[in-house]
Amino acid sequence: MDKKKNGFASGIGFVLAAAGSAVGLGNLWGFPYKTHDNGGAAFVLVYVACVLLIGVVTMMCEIFIGRRAQANPVSAFKKVGKNVGWLGVLAVLIPAFIACYYSVLGGYTVRFTVNSFAGNAGTFIPFAGSGLAVVIYTAVFIGMALVVVMAGVKGGIEAASKVLMPVLFLILVATAIFSLSLGEGVKEGLTFYLKPDFSKLSGTGILSAMGQAFYSLSLGMGAMIAYGSYTGKEINLVKSTAMICLCDTAVALLAGFAIFPAVYHYNVIHGSSAGAFQGVGLMFQTLPLVFEDLGTVGKIISFFFFAMVGIAAVTSVISLLEVVSQFIIQKFRVSRKKAVSVLALICFAVSIPVGISLGQVLGGKEGAITVFGQNLLDLFDIITNTVLMPVCAFFSCVTIGWILGPKKALGEMAEDGQKLGWFAPIFAVMVKYVTPLLIAAIEIFGVYDLIFPKNAEGLRIFSSNGLGITLCAYGLLAIGVILYFVFLRNTACGTNADEEA
């Protein structure tokens, strides 16, 4: 076990890095706007239940799969069973796709941070449609992630997470306190956020909470497998998992406390409705208006707020790049520097059309680049988030629940000094039945919703575009499976020990 050479130096370092992966735009942006769109507090409760029922077990499985192999996701799944190694290919392909669109949004956060003092209100659509500026900020963002990943697991990822995560947390708490002290509108915001009204929660809302929990915890895409592989006996599996889930959920909940009171405050003063949340527009359109309204203080808060969102985004992209780099380094025996730079360059190249397409669609440009009626960012997001990630997470549980078997898994954990205690029997049942069933539901209903979306009258209608996207995603999955069986099944795919120090 050569993990000390390029693994995490400490348990807390691992937890912070994994929390860095988990805490991202999903928590600070996705969670608040989805909570708003799905009726508030009831959604929050379902979300927390999903973290407990799906998130904890899946995360434990993923960390365990990585750690027992001390290797990249392909080798890690291969170690569970030679015929499930293709899951590792999927676990490497998904983050590669996510990194390309996530970096565009990361670039937005950099731009909104540096532009805070000039004022961001009303600048979103022109900026998004600017082309060159988006490309430049995306490059800056990818550059930051690249520097960290290049410096390695201990010297880069762990070191950066140890500084960035506490900073993020402090800014978030400070922002939430400020927001709660705004006076008018705060009570209404809190009522919406904290007083459940289950009549407002639809089936789609529940599905959205499940998917959100998943994405937010960075599950189903190799991140926890890769990070888990860099840990050893010194790390307690259950405690680490609990802490990562807790951090991620706490940040999402705190983001609600930072955003709801402030936006309701703004709405009360300006007489506009809470509709100003505008789903996706929340982060880059609504919040800048709220900040502008607060004068100079608002500019300062805007700076720290967007810097915090940028930190959250960069630590997430770091994990995405690490998953893919780890595989390239170990499979092809290339240096970390080479692997990371080539990968970052490809990611940047792909992010250019993604950024341009999004800007064009947001600006309502005629002849905008779209595929199956979607801008490229949404297309990538749907392919990975709706279709592929649940497949990967489902099988992460199934490989432990049915292929390795909970008995063997728990035995291995015990040998490793990891006693699950009272949680062991619960884990055994959850990993075999409950969690995979819930994940299967996410996949099935997610795809159904894609192919038969609701129209304005709430009726389900067939969407050929939805079908096209679904076929595209499963086609990609098929390519991954073929690649595995042709090139990877019978060749060595490397382990952490193969990385040169």
Task: Give whichever of 25 and 209 is closer to ligand PFF, judged by the CB atom.
Answer: 25
Q: Segment 316-335, which members bind ligand PFF (CB under 6 A)?
A: 316, 319-320
Tokens of 347: 């990611």
Task: Give whichever of 215 and 427 is closer to ligand PFF, judged by the CB atom.
Answer: 215
CB of 221: closest distance to ligand PFF in angstroms? Answer: 4
Helices marked H in 115-158: 124-128, 132-150
Task: Report if residue 436 touches ligand PFF, rule: CB under 6 A.
Answer: no
| Residue 240: partners with Cβ closer than 8 Å, 6 or more residues away | 11, 14, 15, 18, 63, 231
Which residue from 65, 84, 142, 221 is in contact with ligand PFF, where contact means CB under 6 A?
A: 221
CB of 228: closest distance to ligand PFF in angstroms? Answer: 13
CB of 249: closest distance to ligand PFF in angstroms? Answer: 11
Task: Report if residue 193 touches ligand PFF, rule: CB under 6 A.
Answer: no
Q: Which of the stretches 128-136, 184-192, 277-285, 313-321 binds ligand PFF when contact is defined by CB under 6 A? A: 313-321
Q: Which of the stretches 78-86, 315-323, 332-340, 479-487 binds ligand PFF when contact is defined by CB under 6 A? A: 315-323
H/E stretch holding 159: helix 159-180
CB of 219: closest distance to ligand PFF in angstroms? Answer: 8
Which residue from 63, 223, 251, 339 is in contact with ligand PFF, where contact means CB under 6 A?
A: 223
Tokens of 271: 């007489």
What is the x/- site pattern for ligand PFF, positions 45-84, by CB under 6 A? ----------------------------------------
Q: Segment 89-128, which members bind ligand PFF (CB under 6 A)?
A: 95, 98
Distance between CA atoms of 318 and 156, rounded to whole angstroms?
10
Task: Report if residue 377 touches ligand PFF, rule: CB under 6 A.
Answer: no
Task: Report if residue 27 touches ligand PFF, rule: CB under 6 A.
Answer: yes
Q: Which of the stretches 17-25, 68-76, 190-198, 479-487 binds ligand PFF when contact is defined by CB under 6 A? A: 17-25
How many residues interact with ligand PFF (rule CB under 6 A)? 16
DSSP 99: H
Angle, helices 389-398/435-451, rounded to nearest 10 degrees: 160
Task: Give whichever of 208 and 319 is closer to ligand PFF, judged by the CB atom.
Answer: 319
CB of 318: closest distance to ligand PFF in angstroms? Answer: 9
Q: Segment 133-162, which members bind ligand PFF (CB under 6 A)?
A: none
Task: Report if residue 387 touches ligand PFF, rule: CB under 6 A.
Answer: no
Buried/exposed 83-97: b ≥16 CB within 10 Å, e otherwise: ebbbbbbbbbbbbbb
Which residue from 43, 215, 260, 380 is in contact with ligand PFF, where contact means CB under 6 A?
A: 215
Q: How many helices (H) and strands (E) does the chain have?
A: 24, 0
Left (φ > 0), alpha (ψ -120 to 50) or beta: where does 2 sit?
Answer: alpha
DSSP string spanning 276-300? GG-GGGGTTTHHHHHHHHTHHHHHH
Task: Report if residue 13 touches ligand PFF, rule: CB under 6 A.
Answer: no
CB of 95: closest distance to ligand PFF in angstroms? Answer: 5
Tokens of 97: 């796709």
| C-alpha gyration radius of the chain | 22
Which residue from 21, 179, 286, 374 is in contact with ligand PFF, where contact means CB under 6 A?
A: 21
Q: What is the 3-state secondary structure (H, E, C) of 419-478?
A: CCCCHHHHHHHHHHHHHHHHHHHHHHHHHHHHHCCECCCCCECCCHHHHHHHHHHHHHHH
Task: Report if residue 24 touches ligand PFF, rule: CB under 6 A.
Answer: yes
Q: Which of the stretches 25-33, 58-66, 182-190, 375-383 binds ligand PFF when contact is defined by CB under 6 A? A: 25-33
| CA–CA distances in Å: residue 449 to residues 8, 40, 299, 461, 465 | 41, 22, 40, 10, 12
Distance between CA atoms of 222 and 320, rounded to whole angstroms?
8
Task: Give whichever of 137 and 215 is closer to ligand PFF, judged by the CB atom.
Answer: 215
Task: Give whichever of 129 and 228 is closer to ligand PFF, judged by the CB atom.
Answer: 228
Q: Which one, of 135, 166, 161, 165, lies nearest residue 148 by Cα? A: 161
Q: Which one, of 111, 161, 101, 127, lies nearest residue 310 by Cα? A: 111
Distance between CA atoms of 401 and 412, rounded to whole angstroms?
14
Task: Report if residue 212 touches ligand PFF, rule: CB under 6 A.
Answer: no
Which residues are near ligand PFF by CB under 6 A?
Answer: 21-22, 24-27, 95, 98, 215-216, 218, 221, 223, 316, 319-320
